Amino acid sequence: MLQSTVTIEQTANFLKLLGDKTRLTIVGMLKQRECCVCELQEVFDISQPSISQHLRKLKDAGLVKEERRGQWIYYSLNPENELYGLIDPILQHVPDLKDKIEIINKSNPTLRCGC
């Protein structure tokens, strides 16, 4: 069995991040597709700065990465994160998020932000 280089503190911080229902939902959605802040705002009843704060925390932990395309920044999960393998087992216990993805697809059918 391979020895993990991840510390108990890193794992605890990772689980704390996902202990917030908004961040857990964001991670679940990013597992299915990349999103920009305005697309996530379509799903959550919170302000754009609040969504950005959640994404910043996920990014600071290395769980999420961003890619700038023109004036828009798209967020996706970072598979290079050492704790990435914990995401699927955790998401198995989260209700299906297809309805939330559908909200985004209906509001932005081109899948490219034009907000």
Average pLDDT over residues 56-79: 95
Q: How many structural domains are present in the chain?
A: 1
55 compared with 97, residue with greater pLDDT:
55
Asked whether residue 88 is domain-assigned, the answer is: yes
Tell me the C-alpha distance between 66 and 59, whole Å: 8
State yes or no: pLDDT of 1 exceeds 50. Answer: no
CATH number at residue 40: 1.10.10.10
pTM of the predicted protein model: 0.87
Give me the chain's average pLDDT, please: 89
Confirm if 61 and 13 have CB atoms less than 8 A apart.
yes
User: In this predicted structure, what is the pLDDT of residue 5?
Assistant: 82
- Residue 21: which H helix or E strand, with range? helix 21-32
Asked whether residue 3 is domain-assigned, the answer is: no
Asked whether residue 14 is domain-assigned, the answer is: yes
User: Which domain covers residue 70, as residue numbers?
Assistant: 8-106
Asked whether residue 31 is domain-assigned, the answer is: yes
